[in-house]
Chain A
Amino acid sequence: MSAYDVFLERRSFIELGARERARAILDEGSMRELLGPFDHLESPWLPLQDIVCQADDGVIIAKGTLAGHAAVVLAIESAFQGGSIGEVSGTKIAATLELALRECEAGRPVWPVILFETGGVRLQEANLGLAVIAEIQSAIVALRRHVPVVGVIAGMVGCFGGMSLAAALCSYLIMTRQGRLGMNGPEVIEQEAGIQELDSGDRRLIWSLIGGEQRAATGLADALIEDDAQQIAEAVRAACAHGPVAPARSEQVEKYLKLLDAVDPATIDSTSMRLSWQPAHAAAPGHVTQEGV
């Protein structure tokens, strides 16, 4: 096939909704949704603010298999409230990870996959959003000792706020070029620190700092994958099959303190960072594509 035909053959992952993304990751026909729309577990806080709820509160829990192995995919729906984490949507993630942990402890490992697409805490549920994000983080750290916890940041929302910490706690992080990963969104930085600190309208600059390509080139993500449902599913499978990672990136304190010590805050930029921050560990073999790096 020509490059053009390959392009036409692609099925964009980014264009899929959360439910379709989960289905695209799991083995065909294996997906079973838990706490689906018919369970009507909605936010108790949004109606009090005259905001229309969604019956799944923007998180899909999809149980199934990955290459025949028990797995669960947690997919955040960016089309509902920007993928923001409220009490119900966040608890769906935390509670699922806690159940997966229990299975692992009982000797029945379940592979957890989180599809991040979120600006972080849902401000209409403020303190409960923050509280459940702490619970999600706790569950990832506990679970990661038993099975790899695999995160995907496909775009276009990206992954920000407290959930960016959750992504950083994952054993493996898969990104596309369109995905962005950062603690504070560009608009927030411009608001808090001024346009001379960061021009949030400069898309090229933003992606060069926190986009998937840069994150993979500097070891803050493990794999850069094209926006293709099949390639992303294969990368997830390979990462799961690779087994638990120790030490995880967020445990490599000495390494990162050393890298940070060597940084000159006056001159550091995305180009100079690439020279000294190399990818931390090889991700799943054969599925790392880093064209252009």
Chain B
Amino acid sequence: MSANRSRGEIWFEALAGKSLEPAPILSGSGMLGGESAQFIAVVPDAHQRFPRATTNVVGLEQGWLLAKTVRATMIADSHAAERRPIVAVVDVASQAYGRREETLGLHLACAAAVDAYASARLVGHPVIALIVGPAMSGAFLAHGYQANRIVALDAPGTLVHAMGREAAARVTRRSVEELDALGETIIPMSYSMKAFDQLGLLHRLIHDIDADAPTAANIETVREVLAAAVADARQGPPDLSSRLSSPQAQKNRAASIEVRRRLAPQWQDN
């Protein structure tokens, strides 16, 4: 069933049915724990005008359309007693690499998406990222990394990283094998989702799911995890501080915590 559908599309349709919008940005509502949530996915777009952005990447149109879609949800709920959850279904291989992209300000297009997701979170939408495929670099910053809570499938093909293996090996002048070996001991360099979980950045890692052909039970499990993440997000502040509170973060983001601990009193002294 996955032959010509991307992970993003598979999971979007499993959770929200057919999209109201065409590729590259799917958008539509689905039920989560008795309430309606807005699901958003970036999918391949064979008809994309910008030739460097036809796959599941975040290019110029993807960035600005993500911003438009998220902001439309914010506007629709501007008078609601409770703002609906927004779920970013994350399957993004990278940002688009191209001359036109840089000329026309890809950095701003991606920033517009970051801005929209962060603004939605700040006004009270529970924003959840569901990682079902790669969550790479600038594309993940634009689509998912501003979420109150991040959950991920523990399945082949899901990963979070700042740069693809081959490119990272080139830039750091190492072989791919050396890079993988480093990832064993240096957790932030690892390409495995389990290692990412050890950084405390994940709210939940969801096991035993067929990411390419989810069963009805798989979909139900993911729905329950998303609903629980929404409930948890509503309990906490609208910032990203929950990422530093887990036992994993206490251990593997000790420096992030220490910087904050020592900066605060120095900031006060005059």
Contact = CB atoms under 8 A, between A and B. Distances in A.
A, B from the same assembly:
yes
Q: Indicate the size class of the contact surface on chain B.
A: 35 or more
Contacts of B168: 123, 126
Interface string A214-246: 000010100000000000000000000000000
B107 A41 contact: no
A49 B186 contact: yes
Interface in A242-293: 248-251, 253-254, 256-257, 260, 263, 265, 268-270, 273
The winner among A45, A133, A256 for most chain B CB atoms within 10 A is A256
A253 B62 CA distance: 12
A251 B138 contact: no
A87 B188 contact: yes
Given A135-B240, A183-B138, A256-B108, A193 B95 contact: no
Per DSSP, chain B at the interface is helix
Contacts of B267: 34, 63, 96, 99
A262 to B, nearest CB: 11
B263 A61 contact: yes
Nearest to B195: A127
B196 interface: yes
A118 interface: no
Given A91-B259, A183-B107, A131 B98 contact: no
B156 interface: no
A48 B255 CA distance: 14
B188 A193 contact: no
B234 interface: no
A147 B212 CA distance: 46
Interface stretch (B12-20, B35-43, B158-166, B214-222): B158-166
B71 A268 contact: no
A191 interface: yes
A164 B107 contact: yes
A157 interface: no
A80 to B, nearest CB: 16
Q: For this complex, into which size category does the number of interface residues on chain A fall?
A: 35 or more
Contacts of B162: 120-121, 123, 126-127, 129-130, 162
Given A131-B201, A265-B50, A141 B102 contact: no
Contact of A168 (B103, B111, B262): B111
A138 B240 contact: yes
A13 B146 CA distance: 34
A148 B19 CA distance: 38
A86 to B, nearest CB: 9
Given A127-B196, A169-B114, A260-B104, 5 more contacts: A41-B258, A87-B256, A120-B162, A127-B160, A184-B97
Interface of B: 49-52, 60-61, 64-65, 67-68, 71, 95, 97-112, 114-116, 118-119, 121-122, 137-138, 140-142, 145-146, 160-163, 167-168, 170-172, 182, 185-190, 196, 199, 201, 239-240, 243, 253-256, 258-260, 262-264, 266-267
The 5 closest A-B pairs by CB, nearest first: A168-B111, A164-B107, A192-B97, A134-B145, A141-B118
